[in-house]
């Protein structure tokens, strides 16, 4: 009985944070845990959404150039973190990218290639140094009117860690969660084996996997140009922008996967390194805080040494780059 109870699982898929959230939770507390995570992510969404009028991020955007906005401690911390990561990445990752992402609307209903003049105007508003943080008062303000925050490149990975807290509170020892492709595992499979996490091949609608990864207790975030894009005249425009140009990043990479216990870091770095390209990957393969799996335009797969034994390449269209 006890053994069966440990192996039993509950699964759910919900549309939250503008994306699909799926969970499989094992063990005695599974049903309460699934419901508690859905509830927590709903609350998260209402605070962080770029589109909900009631969200705190929306309030910061509405008050750009006007007034500081008092936010929850958690929101303050995430924005401060995102600003620091923007700085660290030299602006390749920049959460003030919203004027550009809204203008191009790649992931929205009316994607289009804007005129260069429009791009220049939007680009002039993108600058993480204009995020004014007052720690004592717990306020955030954007310096200039028209500036806007877009947490789209960090919120889903961060939300994985938020869900992780809920699982811990619920006593869950084994679970897999995906928030829009940001995958988080708690513990390992009930039988004791690690979870096999599928890493997608960087091709749209491809059901095959690039390979499988073992990364218990980690958040696994992937950024790439292959999934969210639109095409005009045979040219592809994807949703990750180069804040230096205002255009979709002309990366020499197909995808970047970052593996870390720190979900915000995994998500932000996957976006930053996609923009930075292969040179950035080579410089960051040996970092302590995260591991990397990146695919370049020739199909070579770059891996951090410390995950070499945890990854199995299964798609013969790709090959491992020399160590
Ligand atoms: P996904 O949303 O597919 O997980 P990312 O984590 O890379 O992919 O986030 C991309 C989203 O982040 C875009 O849809 C946009 O809202 C925003 N964004 C685009 N370019 C940047 C950038 N250079 N820095 C920060 N955020 C960005
Ligand atoms: Mg990201
Ligand atoms: Mg992401």
| Chain centre to alpha carbon of residue 254 | 16
Best of 158, 200, 271, 276 for a ligand 1 pocket test (most atoms within 8 Å of beta carbon): 271
Distance, CA of 233 to CA of 281 (rounded, Å): 31
Least confident among 3-7, 13-17, 302-306:
3-7
Same domain for 123 and 160: no
Kindly report the average pLDDT of the chain as a whole number. Answer: 94
Alpha-carbon Rg for the chain, nearest whole angstrom, is 20
Confidence of residue 2 (pLDDT cuts 50, 70, 90): low
Residue 215 has pLDDT above 70, yes or no: yes
Average pLDDT score over residue span 55-65: 96
pLDDT for the residue numbered 7: 84
Residue 206 has pLDDT above 80, yes or no: no
Q: Give yes or no for a contact between 3 and 20, defined as CB atoms under 8 angstroms apart.
A: no
Nearest ligand, CA 269: 2
Burial pattern 249-269, b for ≥16 Cβ within 10 A else e, equals bebebbbbbbbbebbbbbbbb
Structure tokens at 60: 């910061």
Render pLDDT for 265-310 as a digit per residue (tens, 0 to 9).
Answer: 999 999 999 999 999 999 999 999 999 999 999 999 999 999 999 9
ipTM of this predicted complex? 0.98
Q: Give yes or no for a contact between 181 and 288, defined as CB atoms under 8 angstroms apart.
A: no
Q: Evaluate whether residue 117 is within a structural domain.
A: yes
List C-alpha distances in Å: 303 to 286, 294, 300.
10, 7, 10
Confidence of residue 112 (pLDDT cuts 50, 70, 90): very high
Question: Residue 158 belongs to what domain range?
Answer: 2-42+154-320
Structure tokens at 223: 């950024």
Q: What angle do CA 259, 181, 287 make, to 5 degrees?
A: 15
259: left (phi over 0), alpha (psi -120 to 50) or beta: beta
Render pLDDT for 309-321 as a digit per residue (tens, 0 to 9).
Answer: 999 999 999 999 9
Q: Evaluate whether residue 179 is within a structural domain.
A: yes
Best of 19, 84, 153 for a ligand 1 pocket test (most atoms within 8 Å of beta carbon): 153
pLDDT for the residue numbered 193: 94
Same domain for 122 and 235: no
CB-facing half-sphere around the CA of 305: CA atoms within 13 A:
6
Residue 256 CA to ligand 2 centre (angstroms): 10
CATH of the domain at 75: 1.10.3980.10
Average pLDDT score over residue span 104-123: 95
Q: Which residue has a Cα nearest atom 5 of ligand 1?
A: 153
Confidence of residue 179 (pLDDT cuts 50, 70, 90): very high
pLDDT for the residue numbered 226: 83
CATH of the domain at 11: 3.10.520.10
User: Relative to the CA of 107, which ligand 1 atom is closest?
Assistant: 14
Q: Evaluate whether residue 264 is within a structural domain.
A: yes
Distance, CA of 30 to CA of 298 (rounded, Å): 43
Looking at the structure of the chain, the number of domains it has is 2
pLDDT for the residue numbered 322: 81
Residue 64 CA to ligand 3 centre (angstroms): 25
Same domain for 303 and 174: yes
Same domain for 230 and 306: yes
Residue 145 CA to ligand 2 centre (angstroms): 26
Residue 69 CA to ligand 3 centre (angstroms): 26
pLDDT for the residue numbered 52: 75
pLDDT for the residue numbered 227: 82
């Amino acid at each position: 009985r006890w053994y069966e109870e440990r192996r039993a699982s509950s699964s759910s898929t919900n549309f939250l944070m503008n994306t699909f959230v799926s969970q499989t939770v094992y063990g005695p507390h599974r049903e309460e845990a699934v419901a508690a995570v859905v509830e927590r992510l709903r609350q998260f969404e209402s605070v962080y959404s770029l589109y909900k009028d009631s969200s705190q991020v929306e309030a910061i955007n509405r008050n750009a150039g006007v007034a500081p906005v008092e936010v929850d401690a958690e929101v303050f911390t995430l924005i401060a973190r995102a600003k620091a990561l923007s700085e660290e990445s030299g602006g390749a990752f920049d959460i003030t990218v919203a004027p550009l992402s809204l203008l191009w609307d790649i992931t929205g209903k009316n994607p289009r290639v804007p005129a260069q003049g429009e791009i220049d105007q939007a680009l002039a508003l993108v600058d993480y140094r204009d995020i004014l943080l007052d720690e004592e008062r717990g306020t955030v303000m954007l310096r200039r009117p028209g500036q806007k925050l877009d947490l789209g490149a960090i919120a889903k990975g961060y939300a994985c860690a938020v869900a992780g807290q809920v699982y811990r509170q619920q006593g869950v020892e084994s679970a897999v969660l995906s928030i829009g492709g940001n995958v988080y595992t708690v513990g390992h499979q009930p039988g004791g084996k690690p979870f096999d996490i599928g890493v997608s091949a960087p091709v749209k609608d491809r059901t095959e996997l690039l390979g499988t990864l073992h990364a218990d207790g980690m958040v696994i975030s992937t950024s790439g140009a292959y999934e969210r894009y639109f095409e005009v005249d045979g040219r592809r425009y994807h949703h990750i922008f180069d804040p230096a140009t205002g255009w979709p990043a002309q990366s020499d990479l197909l995808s970047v996967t970052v593996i870390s216990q720190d979900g915000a870091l995994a998500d932000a770095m996957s976006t930053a390194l996609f923009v930075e390209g292969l040179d950035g990957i080579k410089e960051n393969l040996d970092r302590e805080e995260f591991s990397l799996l990146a695919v370049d335009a020739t199909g070579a797969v770059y891996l951090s040494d410390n995950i070499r034994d945890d990854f199995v390449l299964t798609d013969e269209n790709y090959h491992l780059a020399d160590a």
